[in-house]
Structure 1
Amino acid sequence: MDGGAAPRGRRLDAGARREQILEAAVACIAERGFGATTRELAQRAGVTQALLYQYFESKQALAEAVYERIYLGRLDPRWMREIRDRAVPVEKRLEAFYRRYTAAIFTYEWMRIFMWAGLAGEGLNRRYLGTVEARLLRPLAEEIAADGRFGAPELEAMWALHGSLVYIGIRRFIYDLPTPEDPGPAVAAGVRRFLDGLRAEARRARRRELR
């Protein structure tokens, strides 16, 4: 660890200083990826490298804090309750969830850090996708199956839906391609196509059973 000095800012309490460093790390990693050094991260935060290590004992510890902030911190516990609310038709629950989910993740920082984590082999996005599967996709699949009109979707089908909707954000923030200013209608259309496909497959399966 070398102690590359950075300009000193105003005196902050410990919580505010940690927040300052974390916000700077999020911005820096989004731009430069996980190859950014702790010296660069400290300079971005306007603190010395030695001070950065007082709050985060290693670069990995700082990466973990970024993961908590960007990924886990955006998973709203209310989504899980709403997914299971059978007083609401399942198609409305699915659309409402994906409208909220895409609104939460369609940001420069989320998309860029997710890309960089994958390229760097950090394992952070694999952990995140495991959380998405366990806490969101499997419950959604169970609710669709319980409805009775659509059959039981395979997990791979759920991932296909999920990936197709997230790709709107990838096109915008990674490839810098035109995307709808409001992705909500595209999300709604994607959910309808998905459920229509499941419904059609369920009908075909019933006809096969009757033969």
Structure 2
Amino acid sequence: MAASPRASRKTPPPAATAPAARRLAPADRERQIVDQAIDHFTRHGFAGSTRELAREIGVTQPLLYRYFPSKQALIDRVYAEVFQWNPAWDTGLADRSVPLQQRLHRFYADYAHTILQERWIRIFIFAGLTREGINDTYLARLRRQVFLPLLAELRVACGVPEPHDAAMLEAEVELVWSLHASIFYLGVRKWIYGLRLPRDLDAVVRRQVDTFLHGAPAVLRALRQETPDA
């Protein structure tokens, strides 16, 4: 005798439910959100809604808003976490008891180890491409606290006077950009192009600094000999 359809119908298994989120202290939950947001922005950039971001992080959208009232507020917090500034860099660059070459070796070695990280490079690149203005604060700080002080120390070491106009100063700033960009580009090679970094990173940084110091003094003197166009 054939079994009736009702008798042969199997009871479906109970639907799987997502495990309840572990209850965390507010400070721990905030830390979790920030850490996972850093990972998210490192991999995906800043596109997507807060709903998508919350799902990727593993929290509800209302919970996300409880800690960060907007996506921009979370981005600002991530930026502050990733792009921290070491006050020792400022004092080290200005310490004239140490030869300039040694100061620059020390600064750029430490700076390179700080920025040549996946999250630093990728978030900085994503920000420059998709979040207009978000890098301006960092770049302004870089100019104010690295480029201009470095040039001041270089002029003293080379015995050349201050630039006599804004155009000359900007030409000098471009010299420092060439050094700084050569360090930053190591991170682009690694975390954007997928190429290997040199095994001895400190040696590469020292050579970049030495190349800069070999050529920059001659350029500073040449700039002061140029006659502006009539």
State the TM bucket, normalised to the shorter chain.
0.7 to 0.9
Where does residue 55 of structure 1 map in the other structure? Answer: 67
* In structure 2, distance between residues paired with 1:155 and 1:143: 13
Aligned 8 A contact 1:145 1:151 in 2: yes
Deviates more, 1:14-23 or 1:178-187: 178-187
What is the Cα deviation at residue 48 of structure 1? Answer: 0.9
Q: Which residue of 1 aligns with 2:166?
A: none
Question: Could you state the TM-score of these two structures normalised by the residue count of structure 1?
Answer: 0.87
Ranges of 4+ aligned residues in structure 1 off by more than 3 Å: 149-153, 199-208
Indicate conservation of the 8 Å contact 1:161/1:194, yes or no: yes
Select the residue among 42, 49, 72 that pairs with 2:54. Answer: 42
Q: Using a 3 Å threshold, how does the CA distance of structure 1 residues 199 and 135 change in structure 2: closer, same or farther?
A: closer
Structure-2 separation of matches of 1:53 and 1:205: 54
Q: How does 1:1-211 map to 2 (within 5 A)?
A: 8-71=20-83, 73=84, 75-148=85-158, 154-201=172-219
Q: Which ranges in structure 2 are unaligned for 5 or more consecutive residues?
A: 1-17, 163-170
- Post-superposition offset of 1:41: 2.3
Shift of 1:55: 0.4
The alignment partner of 1:181 has SS state of coil
Higher deviation after alignment, 150-159 or 118-127 = 150-159
**Percent identity of paired positions between Structure 1 and Structure 2:** 40
In the other structure, the counterpart of 1:3 is: none
Deviations 1:94-119 (A, max 9, x none): 11100000100111101111111111
Contiguous gaps of at least 5 residues in structure 1 = 1-5
Given the two structures, how large is their TM-score scaled by the length of structure 2? Answer: 0.80
**CA distance in structure 2 between the aligned counterparts of 1:122 and 1:206, rounded to whole angstroms:** 36
What is the total number of aligned residue pairs between the two structures? 201
The 3 A distance-change label for structure 1 pair 101 and 21 is same
Cα distance per residue 1:24-74 (max 9 Å; x no partner): 111001101100322232223321111000000000111111111111x2x
Larger Rg: 2
| Aligned CA-pair RMSD | 2.2
